[in-house]
Amino acid sequence: MQIQHTIVYRVDGRYAGWPANYGVWSWGDEIVTGFTLGYHNDGGGFHARDTGKPLVTMQSRSLDGGLSWDVIPTPLLAPGNTAISADEHMSAPQGPVAARVNAPSPYPGNVDFTGPDFAMLCARTGLKAGAESWFYTSTDRCQNWDGPFTLPMFGELGIAARTDYLVDAPQRATLFLTSTRPDGGEGRVFCARTEDGGRSFQFVSWLRSDPSGFDIMPASLRLGPAGRRDGGGILTALRTRDGSGGADAIDLMRSDDDGVTWRRVSTPAPDTGTGGNPPAMIRLSDGRICLTYGFRDAPSGIHAVLSKDDGESWGDAIVLRADGGNHDIGYPRSVQRTDGAVVTVYYYNDSPNGERYITATIWKP
């Protein structure tokens, strides 16, 4: 199997991480994704970043299927952050700046979700009790973002949204969100839906209402037409941790009634290493399902698994690379190019005391 690695963003002394916290969107061989940028610090704990310096959200775009990338500060307003130009950001001597508060507002619901250049991005303030979430929309392939727009709390102590949505119709979309557990810790995943173009959202169901440890960071795809109780199939992969002390894993849940009820169908990745890693799941053009994830135990690296039967069973793990410097890697997003190759974007390091950088692996399953 041919495997090619390309650099998305790498600068000495910087900490670039966690593409899975944002999203990935593609139009043919045009690919857009995001990541967090901060500063490296060897004494930063599990994640070797300098917590005394600010983080900013960056956006990377490739027009050639992942071979080369342009990176800019994401053109959006985040609550608590200043709107600044790319030139101002890059020239600031103290690094990223933050100042003006920009409060989320209700969404006007005047955008067609099925538009050819539409994208949605979900974000949050934290992971546990008190976390609030919001979203942005773009109608020009992420060149500009409108928002932030409010997501409801759904009666929970905290909502920690990351981008995972299914477009069902011009005014109908299904979102998969993570809430706190009843004790305020993270987390459990639920399905929510808008039928009015994002002006309002309704709770649909818990994927697992009471996980023994946590379920977080869903990745979803549709199996059948939306809105049909007899055919609205959905698959959602979950980053999960067993409360009894078992390995961090990735479980696959399935709904055959458009998200109303769920059952676990398989465990594509029984062990993702100490600390765990989220799934990136896509349907390939040949019908197979491809799931990629970071593996955080030695030898750390990026793995993939494939299914020919809609996730009922999975092949052996494909090791895309196993040369990571330590556990501080992964958080992938994946898309398929027009030529059938998969582009998997993630963060990585070559040594524990080296910078964290964003890279892409181009490979053909």
**pLDDT tens digits for 181-238?**
988 888 999 999 999 999 999 999 999 999 989 999 999 999 976 555 445 799 999 9
Higher pLDDT, 83 or 87: 83
pLDDT, residue 226, reads: 58
pLDDT, residue 89, reads: 35
Distance of CA 174 to the CA centre of its chain: 15
Would you call 87 helix, strand, or coil by DSSP? helix
Residues 269, 251: Cα–Cα separation, whole Å: 7
Nearest to 25 by CA among 336, 310, 329: 336
Top mean pLDDT of 95-99, 103-107, 116-120 is at: 116-120
Cβ neighbours of residue 94 closer than 8 Å, sequence gap 6 or more: none
pLDDT, residue 127, reads: 85
Residues 195, 149: Cα–Cα separation, whole Å: 16
Mean pLDDT of 52-61: 94
pLDDT, residue 43, reads: 74
What domains are defined for the chain? 3-363 (2.120.10.10)
Nearest to 236 by CA among 249, 226, 223, 248: 223
What the block records as the tokens of 152 is 């409801």
Convert the pLDDT of each residue in 8-53 to its tens digit. 999 999 999 999 999 999 999 999 999 999 999 977 689 999 989 9
pLDDT, residue 245, reads: 78
Q: Is the pLDDT of residue 120 over 70?
A: yes
Higher pLDDT, 102 or 234: 234
Do 192 and 154 meet the contact criterion of CB atoms below 8 Å apart? Answer: yes
Tell me the pLDDT of the chain averaged across its residues. Answer: 91
Mean pLDDT of 81-104: 43
Instruction: Tell me the pLDDT band of 92, cut-offs 50, 70 and 90.
Output: very low
Instruction: Tell me the pLDDT band of 78, cut-offs 50, 70 and 90.
Output: confident
Nearest to 203 by CA among 263, 252, 256, 152: 152
Do 148 and 126 meet the contact criterion of CB atoms below 8 Å apart? Answer: no
Give the CA-trace dihedral at 152, 163, 209, 293, to 10 degrees.
-160
Element containing residue 90 per DSSP (H, E) = helix 86-91
- Output the pTM of the full model: 0.92
pLDDT, residue 194, reads: 97
Cα Rg for the chain, rounded, in angstroms?
Answer: 19
Q: How far apart are the first and last CA of the chain?
A: 8
Distance of CA 77 to the CA centre of its chain: 19
Do 158 and 130 meet the contact criterion of CB atoms below 8 Å apart? Answer: yes
Q: Is the pLDDT of residue 65 over 70?
A: yes
Element containing residue 7 per DSSP (H, E) = strand 3-9
pLDDT, residue 332, reads: 98
Cis status of the peptide bond prior to 340, with omega within 30 of 0: no
Facing residues of 220 across strands? 236
